[in-house]
Structure formats: C-alpha cells, structure tokens
Amino acid sequence: MGEATRDWQEHPLRVKIIGVGGAGGNAVDRLRMSDPGPMELAVVNTDFKTLDASPLTEKVMIGKTVTGGLSTGGEAELGRQAAEADRAELARMVEGVDLVFILAGLGRGTGSGAAPVIAEVAAEAGALVVAFVNLPFSREGQRRMRQAEDALAAMREACACVISLPNDLIVQQAEGDPTLLEALAIADDWIRRGVQAICSMILENGLINVDFATLREALHYRGGKAVFGFGEGSGDGFVEAALRDLERCPLLHLPDNRFLRKTDGLLLHIRGGPDMPLSDVYRVMDFIGERFGCKENTVLGAAVDGSLQGRVQVTVIGTVDVTGARRHPFRVPAAARPRPVAPPAPRPAPVAEAPAEHTAPVAKTVVATPRSAPPQETESTGAARREKHPPEGQAEFEFLVGEDRGYFEKTDENIYEGQDLDVPAFIRKGIRIAV
Amino acid sequence: MPRNKIIGAVEIGSSKITVLIGEIEGGRELNIIGSAEATSVGVKKGEIVDLSSVGRCTHAALIAAERKAGVQVDEVFLSASGAHLEGFTNIGTVNVHDADNWVSEHDVHTAGHSARRKALPPGRCYLVHIRGAACADGREVDNPVGMQAAKLELKYWNVHADERRITDMIHIISGYADGLSVEEIIPASVASGRISASDDERRAGALVVDIGEGTTDFVLYRKGHIVHTGVIPVGGGHLTNDLSIGLRITFKQAERLKLRDGKAVLEKGDKEGHVMLEGDLQIGDRPIPRLAIAKILNARVAEIFSIIKNRLGSAVSAQAVPGGVILTGGSSELPGIADVGRDVLGVDTRVGTHPAWVTREDLRDPGYSTTLGLLFFGLQGQSLGERKAEAPKAGLLRRLFK
C-alpha cells in the first residue's frame, strides 16, 4: 500500500458508538464482543454500579449532582436533568467525532431522559447522529410507553435518523420460545446490523463505497421518521431469497410504516461473498428503489465479506420527511464546529490530495481537531444554538403527534389499558408467528 | 290507518351499509319488502371518518332498497356504534305519594324522570334510556303499579353518545330525501341483542356479542332487562389487519385468506399444514402455515373476549348468564370463535341464529341481526300499547331533531 493510504489511516473518520442507560450499555458491550473494528465505544449512565461493571474504557458518569451516583429510578425527567448537568462532559465525549451512534432503550429514566440531550450535544458538536432505540414491550405498561414515545419524539428532533426497534417484535424473529437472553441478543443483533451497514459503507473497502458527505445528505431529514429492515439469502438464487426475506422483515411491517411506499432518502447496503456479481448488486438496487419509491436519492454501498460465500445480506435504512419539506438541513455551518487553530499541520500537502475521494470535506476538518479544544468555545456555541432550538422543537413536535397507523390511520386512538388495540394483538402479547 | 307505514332500518357499518325496508301492516305485522347493502367507504371502527363518501354510500343503499320495495321510506331507524358510546346505570328513587302506599303510574313516572335527568358533559347527548328492574321496598318486580310499597326504585341503563357523531348520521339520512326523518337511534348492541337472543334467553340472563367489521357491540341481559351495553372498537377489520401485518401480505389478500381459511382455534393437523395464499398458481403465490393464521386470529379473538370479561367483571359467569353467550355479526362466522369465547368467558358460547320469522334466506346471515333488530323496534314503536318495559324510550335526541 502506498503512502497515501497510510496517511488517511492516521486521520480516519471518527465513529463513536455511545450506549446510554442500562439497555444502551448492554448493547454496546455486545457490540464490543463482535469486533467493532475502528469504531470507538463509550457508555453513559447515571448509575455508578452499572457503569463500574462495564468492561469499556470510556465511561461517562452523568448526574452525580442530581442522582448522587444512583440510577434515575425510571424517571425520564431525572435522566434529562442528569444529562443537562453534565453537558460539558458530554460535549467533550463527542468532540471531533464525525458519526455518532446512540444506542438506548427508551421507556425508563436514563435512556429516555439523557439520550435526547446527548444527541443534541453531539449534533451541536457537528456530528452526524444516528440513533437506534428500543421501545419497551407493551406489557411494560402505559407509563413506560408514554415516556418512550416522548423520548422518541425528542430524539427525532435532535438526530439525523432515529431507528426505533419495538421490543414487541423481537419475539417475531426468534426461534421457538426465546429465553430472555436470546431475545435481548436478537435486539442487539438488529442494532449491530444497522451500525455495521452504515459503518462498512463509509469505512470498509468494498465494491462500492460511500463518502461521508453523501451519507450525511441522505440521512439529514431531521425530525423525520426512519424505516429499517434487513434480509438475508443463501443458496441458489440468493439474491431473490434475500429480497423475499427483506420483504418479510417484521420491522418493515410495523403498523407505523407498513404502507410505506415512499421514502425521501434511502440507504441500501449489500454485503455479500466474493462471488457476488455486480449485476446482482444493481438488480437489488433497482428492486429496492422501486419498492420504496426512492430512485433518485438512494445511497448504495456494497461490501465483500469472505465469510459470506454464496450468501448475501441486504440492509435498508430509509428516511421519511414527515414535516413536508427539508426544513432542517442537517449540514452544520463550519463556524459552529470547534475548529482547530490552524489547518492540519502534520499533513504533507501532496499527500492530502489523495484521500479526498474517500472522505468528505467535513471529515477532513475534524481529522485535525485537537482533543483539548478550548471548552468555553464549545460551551458558548452550544449555548447559542440551544437558544434558538426550543421554538423549532415546539413547532415540529406538532407534526409528530399524529402518527401514521396504517389501515387505522386518521382514526381516534384506540387505547385500552395502556395498549393501542389497533396494533396487532399477537405483537402486543409477544406471540411468535413463523411465516 | 290510511295506508301501511313504511319504515327503513339503516346500519352504517364499517364494512357495509345495510338497509332493510319493512311494511307495518295494521300496526301489528311486519313484512320485509326491500333490502340492499352498499360497500361502506369512510367508516372505521364504527365511526364516520369521511362524511361525504359515507353519505353517498348510504344514499346508494337507500335508493337500491327503495327500488326493490317499490315504495318510499317514511321514517328511518338508525343504529349507532363506535367507541364514543358510553353507558351508566342510574337509579331513580321516590317515596310513594299515596297515603296508603299504593304505587301509581305517577310514582313510576317520577322515579323514571329522576333516573334519567343526570346532566351530561357538554358535547354529549343521551341516545336511549333503557328501563331495567323496579324495586318496591327491596322486592324486585317488573311492574310495580298497583303494588303496595313505601319506596320505589327504578333502575335505568342510560346510553349517551358524542353529539357531533350523532348529528352527522342524522344529516346523512335527512340529506337523502326531503322530510325523511330519523325516528330513533338505537345502539347496535341493543338492536342485535333483541334479534339474537330469544325471550327465554333474555329472561334467564344472556350476553349477546355482535362482532362486526369495525366494532364489537355487546349487551348483557338479566331477568329480561338490559343491564349493560358496550362497544369495543375492535372487529373483523382488526383480524384482517393482524393477518396482513403478521403474514406480510396485503390487506386484500388477508381479507380473502381470513374468509377462506381463517380459524380462531388451533386444531390438530394445523401444526404442519399450509394453505396457498392465492391458490391460483401465479407468481407471488406462496404457502402460508395454518398455524400462523390460527395463532394470529386466536390472539385477537381471545383479546376481544377478555376485554368484555374485564368490562363486565363478575356479571358474566355461568351462574349470572344461564342463557349463555350468543355471538352474532359478520365475524361470528369465523370457525372456532365460539370455542375461544367459551374458554375466555367460562360461559357456554354459541353462534346465534335468527328467529324463525326471518324466512328470507339472504337475511339469515348474522351480519343482518342489527338491521333486523331495528325493524323490530320500528314495529314496536307502532304498537305502543305492547311496548315492553325493556324497549328503549325515545331519547332527548328524538325531541331535539324532530
């Protein structure tokens, strides 16, 4: 490999995966075990005990002044206060990171309360924020559900893309009667697939790579909804099998988005063995573009994985602009980013040309961001953005109230004892249906 | 009577709008002379979501029915359903006026009045007040007039509804033809209960559950009186929707599959069996496990019954309803549904049949029980002298919109 490659390895895109709260922390732990590659991992929690037990190196304790190192006891407001209290610490954590994944289980205290604040802080620092959040089982009751829904709305405000994974659906993917551990592993596996799809698109060398700016462009419908699905196929006609599997993915058939035929931005990632022909890749792309009504704005990534001989995995992330227009372009003005004093000094001029193809301009500025950026600068810009944020948030929230409920759209809520009766009974009861 | 009265029974349901036209001969005899149904567009869970298209559908059904009958309808009996219907029990108490404690009509009237006059929150209106048991000094009697008692209590089941939704329905009917008035609006549960349960069953105590497309309407009888009615905004449409989500097929495919191969219970042999989605050997056809279909439908049907059980509490048990649970409505045709009902409610459950006087083959479908019940109330309204105690008294509405 030439010198150019080495240079850009020294200044790679920084991707950080942050687990917030108990569930988020567990998800990150599990990711750690499946070799996350160049991604940095971090956990944030209010509970000292849980944090102490985590094997990760980067741990951020929030809300010492609020909860005194104990957990929030399921109170989302406490979680929010805790995160607000340690905003500066959180800002340090996401400083200079280009792509932040936030993993959290919504419905309880830290996840619901702190995750939206962390997303906001990360977005302020200029990162592209993608969140994977678990929604509680219907069985867990109305209060949890309500906290989760509020948090989800707040997350959609702050993140470029929020992918919600209802726990009710976990059981649909499991074999037989899953144990609790298995069920949680499945949920984490969904997250892993999503994180991996996005990361390998921009980090790995594959058939088709995507640069960071394109990714940012595709995902930037702030306040919008996201759909997430994947399919896997093997054997003869593995491409067709994968597409069929994708079509049956329960995540694409939530009451929320099952009638979704039109997305505004689409991210398609194909992962296959070395024997995957390019023609297949394009065939998949055509099919998916057709299926989601998004031929123009489809971002395609394809990676080769030696272990996937004769198999293919297709992952789709689509964003829908529920607010009608691109009201919140996600591109962060250069001024808002903590800037280094000087342009990247260690980089020799001739070499700097080479990585231009791989990484976006945004990424390049970050590369040289000193870890110890003056904190007061971050603080002040953060405060300035916070000031104008609330009214925006207020306006947008109203759009999110009327969720799309498939066949029962535009009808009154059908809440009985905390459960929406319009959601299939078998999903709420956790009955597995093998198709 | 110069000529026979022509009444129309109209049910604006979630899957279809049904119109029956009845001729009342001499005030005592009812002939069904016309019927029609139209696919309902714009009704979900028993409530109108698109007024103009529901109006068009209803008018089309009325035109078709009038054409078949060859006469015009004089007045309309309408059924109401949807989650906005609510009910409560109220007891009116009077000290008997007469010095010797002989209960008079006047006492009954006063007690009834005090049971019905409870004020409703703004935007709500009474639909019907249904008289229940009377208590003369603690003795439960059907008709206390002429008895001796110091204190008279009258129990009423009052059903109230969202005013707007009711006026919407009335506007649809009055928009059909000049002067066509809505004579009475009756909760769908009350109407189908009257048809599906026999006099004996109602006297013994019975629960009638009408599972339609958008709603499940139930009515509980004790000693011949209505003691509870209710609406659950879940019906056959949810069964279809669940299938469509669970099996990842379109709503239309799911509806066909439900009607063709739907089953509410798991049977032996279902574990391995498959049915083809379309059965036409076309591309896209695929085998669907019977087990999956049964599991999905079972979960939903069982939930409907358990909600009823929760709502009624101890009022539904083998002792309290010796007449059993009677199922009706379009979705009651789902095989195995009665077995699920028996399991959940713990009471003998069966799919009801219409009384023998409904001779027309096409009206024996359980989907007609509400409209047949409406006609029955229409007939009763004509022969006031025979009006039974349980018949709904004209509500506030009747006076308001006449």
Three-state SS annotation for A35-92: CCCCCEEEEEECCHHHHHHCCCCCEEECCHHHHCCCCCCCCHHHHHHHHHHCHHHHHH
- Bridge-based pairing state of the strands B16-25 and A128-135: unpaired
Q: What is the pLDDT of residue B235?
A: 93
State the pLDDT at residue A71. Answer: 75
Region of B123 on the Ramachandran plot (φ > 0 left; ψ -120 to 50 alpha; else beta): left
Instruction: Give B307's contacts in chain A (Cβ within 8 Å).
Output: 416
> How many Å is the Cα radius of gyration of chain B?
22
Whether B253 and B125 share a structural domain = no
Cα dist from B392 to A391, B22, B235, whole Å: 53, 20, 25
* Closest residue to A424, CB basis, from B49, B241, B302: B241
Query: Nearest Cβ partner of B248 from A247, A414, A426?
Result: A247
Q: Which residues in chain B (310-349) have CB-CB distances under 8 A to chain A?
A: 310
For residue A237, the distance in angstroms to the closest alpha carbon of chain B comes to 16
Mean pLDDT, range A177-196, rounded to an integer = 79
- What pLDDT band is residue B158 in, cutting at 50, 70 and 90? very high
Would residue A202 be called left, alpha or beta, if left means φ above 0 and alpha means ψ between -120 and 50 degrees? alpha
Residues B285 and B143 reside in one and the same domain:
no
- Topology of domain A13-203, per CATH? Rossmann fold (3.40.50)
Q: What is the pLDDT of residue A384?
A: 40
DSSP A153-170: HHHHHH-SEEEEEEGGGH
Kindly determine whether residue B47 and residue A422, on different chains, have CB atoms separated by under 8 Å.
Answer: no
Class of domain A218-331: alpha beta
Contact B233, B241 (CB under 8 A): no
User: What confidence score (pLDDT) does residue B278 get?
Assistant: 76
Read off the DSSP letter of residue A333: P
Name, in order, each residue with C-beta under 8 angstroms of A139's C-beta and a sequence gap of 6 or more.
A428, A430
In the prediction, which pLDDT does A423 show? 81
Interatomic CA distance for residues B40 and B211, integer angstroms: 17
| Calpha distance B101→B106 (Å, rounded) | 13
Higher pLDDT, B41 or A434: B41
- Residue of B371 and A216 predicted with greater confidence: B371
Structural domain contains residue B58: no
Residue ending a domain, among B354, B369, B395, is B354
Q: Kindly state the percentage of chain B with pLDDT values over 70.
A: 92
Give the pLDDT band (50/70/90) at residue A238: confident
User: For the domain that residue B210 is a member of, what is the CATH number?
Assistant: 3.30.420.40
Domain of residue B340, residue span: 199-354
Residue A379 confidence class, pLDDT cut points 50, 70, 90: very low
Q: Looking at the structure, tell me whether residues B157 and B204 fall in a common domain.
A: no
**What confidence category does residue A257 fall into, taking pLDDT thresholds of 50, 70 and 90?**
low
**Structure confidence by residue, pLDDT tens digits, B79-105:** 999 999 999 999 999 998 888 888 888
Q: Is the pLDDT of residue B50 over 60?
A: yes
Tens of pLDDT, residues A75-87: 888 888 888 888 8
More confident residue, A387 or B284: B284
Greatest mean pLDDT range, A182-186, A196-200, B339-343: B339-343
What average pLDDT does the segment B249-263 reach? 90
Evaluate if residue A99 carries a pLDDT over 90. Answer: no
The CB density around residue B374, as the number of other CB atoms within 10 Å, is 32
Higher-pLDDT residue of A4 and A290 is A290
Q: Where are the domains of chain A?
A: 13-203, 218-331
Q: Which of A412, A420, A429 best probes binding to B when mutated, by most B CB atoms within 10 angstroms? A: A412
Regarding predicted confidence, which is higher, A322 or A123? Answer: A123
In a domain, B169, yes or no: no
pLDDT recorded at residue B391: 39
- Grade residue A331 by pLDDT with cuts at 50, 70 and 90: very low
* Range of lowest pLDDT (A329-338, A409-418, B108-117, B263-272): A329-338
Phi and psi at residue A362, in whole multiples of 5°? -55, -45
Torsion angle (degrees, nearest 10) of CA B374, B376, B377, B379: 130
Residue that the structure tokens 């099996």 belong to? B247
Q: How far apart are CA B378 and CA B252, in angstroms?
A: 36
Select the residue from A256, A408, A413, A432 to test the B interface by mutation, using most B Cβ atoms within 10 A: A408
Amino acid A380: pLDDT: 41
Residues B347 and B207 reside in one and the same domain = yes
Neighbouring-strand partners of residue B218: B209, B230
Task: Tell me whether residue B118 is in a domain.
Answer: yes
Q: How far is CA A73 from the centre of its chain?
A: 25
Residue among B49, B242, B289 minimizing CB distance to A411: B49
Map residue A345 onto helix, strand or coil. Answer: coil
Answer positive or negative: Cα dihedral of B308, B311, B315, B317: positive
* A178 vs A98, higher pLDDT: A98
pLDDT at residue A25 tops 50: yes
For residue A204, pLDDT beyond 80: no
Question: Does the pLDDT of residue A334 top 50, yes or no?
Answer: no
- The pLDDT tens digits of the residues spanning A3-16 come to 444 444 555 778 88
Residues A397-409 have pLDDT tens digits of: 322 222 334 567 5
pLDDT tier at A254, thresholds 50, 70, 90: low
Task: Give A426's contacts in chain B (Cβ within 8 Å).
Answer: 242, 246, 295-296, 299-300
Residue B63 pLDDT exceeds 50: yes
Q: How far is CA B232 from CA A49, A103, A142, B44, B190, in A?
A: 46, 38, 19, 12, 14
CA-CA-CA-CA torsion sign (B36, B40, B46, B51): negative
Among B36-45, B126-135, B171-180, where is mean pLDDT lowest? B171-180
- B398 pLDDT tier (thresholds 50, 70, 90): very low
B248 to chain A nearest CA, in Å?
6
The CATH number of whichever domain residue B130 belongs to comes to 3.30.1490.110
Structural domain includes residue B95:
yes
> Could you tell me if A82 and A94 are in contact, meaning their C-beta atoms sit under 8 angstroms apart?
no
Q: Is B292's CB within 8 Å of A435's CB?
A: yes
Q: Give percent of chain B with pLDDT exceeding 90.
A: 49
Q: Is the pLDDT of residue B12 over 90?
A: yes
Please check whether residue A63 is in contact with residue A38, taking contact to mean a CB–CB distance below 8 angstroms: no
Lowest mean pLDDT among A272-281, B63-72, B295-304: A272-281
Domain match, B152 and B204 both: no
Instruction: Report the interhelical angle of A238-247 vs A278-291 (nearest 10°).
Output: 20
- Are the C-beta atoms of residues B186 and B393 closer than 8 Å to each other? no
On whether any CB of chain A is under 8 Å from the CB of B49, the answer is yes
**Both tokens assigned to A254:** 């939530």
Cβ proximity of A298 and A284 under 8 Å: no
Q: Give the chain B residue whose CA is nearest to the CA of A253.
A: B245
Q: Do A426 and B295 touch (CB under 8 A)?
A: yes
**Residues in A touching B232 (Cβ below 8 Å):** 416, 421
- Residues B322, B209, single domain; the answer is yes
Residue B222 in contact with partner chain A when CB distance is under 8 A: no
Model pLDDT for residues A138-166, shown as the tens digit of each residue: 777 778 888 888 888 888 888 888 888 88
pLDDT of residue A332 exceeding 50: no
**pLDDT band, residue B165 (cuts 50/70/90):** very high
Based on the fold, state whether residues B153 and B205 are members of the same structural domain.
no
Q: Name which of A312-321, B46-55, B177-186, B360-369 the model is least confident about.
A: A312-321
Using a CB-CB cut-off of 8 Å, the residues of chain B touching A410 are 44, 49
Q: What is the mean pLDDT of chain B?
A: 86
Give the pairing of strands B139-141 and B181-187: unpaired
Which pLDDT tens digit goes with each residue over A103-122?
988 888 888 888 889 988 88
B179 within some domain: no
How many domains in chain B?
A: 2
The 3-class SS string of chain B reads CCCCEEEEEEEECCCEEEEEEEEEECCCEEEEEEEEEEECCCEECCEECCHHHHHHHHHHHHHHHHHHHCCCCCEEEEEECCCCCEEEEEEEEEECCCCCCECCHHHHHHHHHHHHCCCCCCCEEEEEEEEEEEEECCEEECCCCCCECCEEEEEEEEEEEEHHHHHHHHHHHHCCCCCCEEEEEEEHHHHHHHHHCCHHHHHHCEEEEEECCCCEEEEEEECCEEEEEEEECCCHHHHHHHHHHHCCCCHHHHHHHHHHHCCCCCCCCCCCCEEECCCCCCCCCCEEEHHHHHHHHHHHHHHHHHHHHHHHHHHCCCCCCCCCEEEECHHHHCCCHHHHHHHHHCCCEEECCCCCCCCCHHHCCHHHHHHHHHHHHHHHHHCHHHCCCCCCEECHHHHHHC
Judging contacts by C-beta atoms under 8 Å, the chain A residues touching residue B310 are 417
Residue A253 is nearest to which of B245, B289, B299, comparing CB atoms? B245
**Arithmetic mean of pLDDT, A264-285:** 79
pLDDT surpassing 50 at residue A376: no
User: What is the DSSP code (8-state) at residue A346?
Assistant: S
Within a domain: B260: yes
Query: Helix, strand, or coil here: A304?
Result: strand
pLDDT bucket at B334, cuts 50 / 70 / 90? very high
Instruction: Say yes or no to pLDDT of B333 above 80.
Output: yes
Give the residue-averaged pLDDT of B5-32.
89
C-alpha gyration radius of chain A: 21
**Residue B142 in domain:** yes
Determine the residue type at B97: H
CB pair distance less than 8 Å for B248 and A253: yes
Q: What is the mean pLDDT of residues A67-73?
A: 76
Residue B380 within any structural domain of the chain: no
The residue ranking higher by pLDDT, A388 or B342, is B342
Measured between alpha carbons, how far is A156 from A166 in angstroms, rounded to an integer? Answer: 16
